[in-house]
Structure 1
Amino acid sequence: MKQTQQYLFPLIIIAFVFFIIGFGVGINGIMVPILEGTFSLSKGMSYLVLASTFSAFLMFGIPAGWVIKRIGYKKSLLVALCIMSAGMFLFILSARMSTSIAGFYMFLVASFIGGIGNTLLQTGINPYVTICGPLEKAAQRMCMMGIMNQSAWFLGPIFLSLFIDIKNPIIANANIPFGIAGGVIALLAVCIYFLPLPEVKAEGETDEQIEDVNHKEAIAKANAKTSIWEFPHLLLGAVALFLYVGVETLPMASVIDFANVIGVDDPARYSAIGPIGMITGYVVSIFVLQVMRQNRALALFALLALVMSLLVVFLPAARAIYCVAGLGFAHSIMWGCLWALTINNLGKFTKPASSLLVVVMVGGAVIPVLFGFILDIVKRVGPVTPCDYQEAYIIFVPCYLYILFYALSGHRIGR
């Protein structure tokens, strides 16, 4: 109980940071159809918006780990929030250049800079939440953080839609919302500067006494290794996380465009489908993880995601779009469980492993862009149809099959 109270205030601060991350990525989702219409882009080109954000994880994931090791969690959060704020202000410049294709490329630059800040945030806050309390409850804490993240994810597009009409976008109108967003993020950085945020360490990073004999033995074996590449369960988990971030990002980013193709009156409101499913799933997951081990819960939700992905592909489009909520529900437990299973008992390698896991979040760039180019390939002559989208969504299936494999057996390999 004392330990829970000790970490309560830092976790509240981190929850607000998760909200900011969700808001930033959510805005990118609504910008995909807006930029496509403004600059007459192909589907593959329009999804480069997400690629520019998530490619920062590939380039700066490892350096972000070095930064955190050198200056600590709190200062890293401040630097990250300032970078994200700068990215938001750069969006204003790109909006003013909307009369030429240079505006699109400037938007990619702004997204990439925001992605650098996001990378530094993710490198710090995910292991921080995992370490702040018992590891067997880490997935539950991640679920609580996810509620904040997903609440912001669908508020971002709704907020931006107040200023920009998706069906007839005028991107120059983005000046005000991006200015407000940049200012709020900068204000959060100022607040965190004056708030206490203690440094934490994973078990085995220092010489503290570990009471559980089996756990102590596992940490000792981990510390005897020479690099993170000697942990098969970590490497397999990194692949699972790569695929997960991709399949989590894809429906959130594409659902507005999918709704627009179906022909609904207000496509922006469909941005809430996935996050509402995830928020509901997070609440349910907190209770599920009270009675079920993390790997079994992950397997159960991976099966659910597999079923929902098949429904998205084969149901009539007007009904299939609502199955995105089912995907969101299934995704809710995956992030926390994958992190907890992957960095379990790594001892002194916890922070380097966390950097690796942040690098593989580039899956959020690769899978949506791959989806965009698949959509270009399967597209019939003429405009894109809902059926084209559904055929391209088949990319979900192999990803969920691998996550299911990791939940059932992959997380135990090499232990």
Structure 2
Amino acid sequence: MENTSRSATVAPDAAHNGRGNTAPLVIVTILFFMWGLLTSLNDVLIPHLKGIYTLSYVQAMLVQFCFFGAYLIVSLPAGMLIRRIGYQRGAVTGLVVAAVGCALFYPAAESGYGLFLFAFFILASGITVLQVAANPYVTVLGDPRTASSRLTLTQAFNSLGTTVAPALGGMLILSGSVLGADQLAKLPVAEQLAYHAKEAAAVQGPYLVLAGALLLLAVLFALARLPKLVDAEDGAPTGKFSDLFAHKHLVLGTIGIFLYVGGEVSIGSFLINYMGEPQIAGMAPAQAAHYVSLYWGGAMVGRFIGFAVMRTVSPGKALAFNAACSIALIMVAIFAQGQVAMWAILAVGLCNSIMFPTIFSMALHGLGRQTGQASGLLCMAIVGGALVPFAQGALADSSGVQVSFFVPAVCYAFILYFGVRYANLHRQ
């Protein structure tokens, strides 16, 4: 998942001279990797928990609802917290809260699905605080002239985290032999309970390790000598929040972010179940998890391709092209079967690569002093990752997993419209 940053500057009495920034930058880069990994692990846990608790697809999508719902609920309080305690302490707080969320997976495995959902919300709340606090350090830990390259580097490590997480989760969490609901129903009650306990316990070890890693990062971040950041305030009026809705391209961009994040997350959430369908690949969850890594890895590779292409192609055209390709690939995934359908849906990850930053930048175009407020509005739209999977889950329950991919196709159709409309406006 991509990250956004608050507007901050180095305090005049705390500016670094460029020396001694390597260690802090390494720590910040690891943070980007960790929250990419934690976010993408959901794609492994959703089918795992669905099998343990015999959930419907809508019930299973409560994982994403609790996780991405935190972005909507926690973002504004996180900003107020950072202003009160500072950026460095805020990052440490976010790491500790995220560690608590990971640790809660241990009792959740012995309790039930409700505590798992609470753990997901706490984990995501910590990541939200962490993103608000840690992003600005990327721009100030070194020469301002190379800030963009540093941001590219850290974003690459975030993508690396989302890429390795499904494969890693598949090896550590998913069982090679998962019982279906019919098979499970044939077992005696005692064996069913033992099976549920064994499968639920599979998450305990990996998430305790993640909790320990986050606490270690919190200690390192607390001890690191970092520049003191202050919010950029020049006293200039920014206007009312309601004034933002007068900018049509911002309104459309906000809807675009909502639908893009929703579509991307929804596809990732259903990939393991999709590849387990007999007419697609009939894969076991542990095997399918490795292919989910290709979906997220495609986004990482596509960013480098997009960086080169968009030097000569306008953002609107590039966005429209990628959205059109996504729709075409999803249609293949819906109507085809076998390897063709499987590779078509995985290739959507490659098309996703440029979408978030492109929509974000187009939506903020020409907003001047309202950019900060508009950025906050766009960040809140990330809640699409909580709601769109519900729609796909409902369609999957009623019509099947393969047909349910019409939901992200509709999301990309709006993004195609936004890209074409932006390109037309740009030529005027």
Q: 1:51 Cα deviation (Å)?
A: 1.0
Counterpart among 66, 84, 97 of residue 83 in structure 1: 97
Q: 1:45 Cα deviation (Å)?
A: 0.6
| Amino acid in structure 1 at the alignment position of 2:261 | V
Structure 1 residues 14 and 337: CA distance shift in structure 2, 3 A: farther
The equivalent of 2:9 in structure 1 is none
Q: 1:140 Cα deviation (Å)?
A: 7.8
Is 1:23 aligned to 2:57, yes or no?
Answer: no
The equivalent of 2:183 in structure 1 is none
The equivalent of 1:245 in structure 2 is 261
Q: 1:405 Cα deviation (Å)?
A: 2.5
The equivalent of 1:315 in structure 2 is 336
CA contact (8 A) 1:23 1:153 kept: yes
Counterpart among 157, 160, 163 of residue 151 in structure 1: 160
The equivalent of 1:337 in structure 2 is 358
The equivalent of 2:79 in structure 1 is 65
Q: Secondary structure at the match of 1:88?
A: helix
Query: How does 1:389-400 map onto structure 2 within 5 Å?
Result: 389-400=401-412
The equivalent of 1:303 in structure 2 is 324
CA contact (8 A) 1:205 1:347 kept: no
Counterpart among 300, 305, 309 of residue 284 in structure 1: 305
| Amino acid in structure 2 at the alignment position of 1:170 | E
Structure 1 residues 54 and 64: CA distance shift in structure 2, 3 A: same
The equivalent of 1:194 in structure 2 is 223
The separation in 2 between residues aligned to 1:131 and 1:354, in whole angstroms, is 20
| Amino acid in structure 2 at the alignment position of 1:236 | L
Q: 1:326 Cα deviation (Å)?
A: 1.8
Q: 1:61 Cα deviation (Å)?
A: 2.1
Report which stretch shifted further, 229-238 or 392-401: 229-238
Report which stretch shifted further, 247-256 or 343-352: 343-352
| Amino acid in structure 1 at the alignment position of 2:244 | E
Counterpart among 196, 199, 202 of residue 170 in structure 1: 199
| Amino acid in structure 2 at the alignment position of 1:283 | F
CA contact (8 A) 1:7 1:133 kept: no
Is 1:37 aligned to 2:51, yes or no?
Answer: yes
Q: Secondary structure at the match of 2:254?
A: helix
Counterpart among 273, 292, 312 of residue 257 in structure 1: 273
Structure 1 residues 124 and 287: CA distance shift in structure 2, 3 A: farther
| Amino acid in structure 2 at the alignment position of 1:149 | N
The equivalent of 1:47 in structure 2 is 61
Q: 1:179 Cα deviation (Å)?
A: 0.5
The equivalent of 1:215 in structure 2 is none
The separation in 2 between residues aligned to 1:286 and 1:356, in whole angstroms, is 26
CA contact (8 A) 2:88 2:226 kept: yes
Report which stretch shifted further, 142-151 or 27-36: 142-151
Render the CA deviation track for 1:299-354: whole Å, top value 9, x for unaligned: 33222222222222222143212123321111111122222223345455444333
Report which stretch shifted further, 84-93 or 113-122: 113-122
CA contact (8 A) 2:272 2:289 kept: yes
- Which consecutive unaligned segments of at least 5 residues does structure 2 have? 1-15, 179-197
| Amino acid in structure 1 at the alignment position of 2:401 | Y
The separation in 2 between residues aligned to 1:286 and 1:397, in whole angstroms, is 25
CA contact (8 A) 1:88 1:110 kept: yes
Structure 1 residues 189 and 327: CA distance shift in structure 2, 3 A: same
The separation in 1 between residues aligned to 2:99 and 2:222, in whole angstroms, is 15
Structure 1 residues 164 and 341: CA distance shift in structure 2, 3 A: same
Render the CA deviation track for 1:5-64: whole Å, top value 9, x for unaligned: 799857655432221111111221111111111111111111111111111112122222
The separation in 2 between residues aligned to 1:260 and 1:68, in whole angstroms, is 44
The separation in 2 between residues aligned to 1:35 and 1:290, in whole angstroms, is 44
The separation in 2 between residues aligned to 1:226 and 1:275, in whole angstroms, is 38
The separation in 1 between residues aligned to 2:88 and 2:251, in whole angstroms, is 28
The separation in 2 between residues aligned to 1:201 and 1:288, in whole angstroms, is 36
CA contact (8 A) 2:239 2:370 kept: no
Q: 1:170 Cα deviation (Å)?
A: 1.3
CA contact (8 A) 2:29 2:154 kept: yes
| Amino acid in structure 2 at the alignment position of 1:342 | A
The separation in 2 between residues aligned to 1:350 and 1:7, in whole angstroms, is 32
Q: 1:290 Cα deviation (Å)?
A: 3.0
Structure 1 residues 409 and 199: CA distance shift in structure 2, 3 A: farther
The equivalent of 1:206 in structure 2 is 234
Q: 1:246 Cα deviation (Å)?
A: 0.8
Compute the TM-score of the two structures, normalised by the length of structure 1: 0.81
CA contact (8 A) 1:308 1:323 kept: yes
The separation in 1 between residues aligned to 2:167 and 2:72, in whole angstroms, is 29
The separation in 1 between residues aligned to 2:149 and 2:418, in whole angstroms, is 19
| Amino acid in structure 2 at the alignment position of 1:369 | F
| Amino acid in structure 1 at the alignment position of 2:364 | I
Q: Secondary structure at the match of 2:345?
A: helix
Query: How does 1:320-399 map onto structure 2 within 5 Å?
Result: 320-378=341-399, 388-399=400-411
Q: Secondary structure at the match of 2:224?
A: coil
| Amino acid in structure 2 at the alignment position of 1:29 | D
Report which stretch shifted further, 123-132 or 224-233: 123-132
Q: Secondary structure at the match of 1:291?
A: coil
| Amino acid in structure 1 at the alignment position of 2:256 | A
Report which stretch shifted further, 297-306 or 190-199: 190-199
Q: Secondary structure at the match of 1:162?
A: helix
Render the CA deviation track for 1:82-138: whole Å, top value 9, x for unaligned: 1111100001111122xxxxx111000000111111222344456776899999x99
The separation in 2 between residues aligned to 1:244 and 1:290, in whole angstroms, is 23
Task: State percent identity of aligned pairs.
Answer: 29
The separation in 1 between residues aligned to 2:140 and 2:242, in whole angstroms, is 18
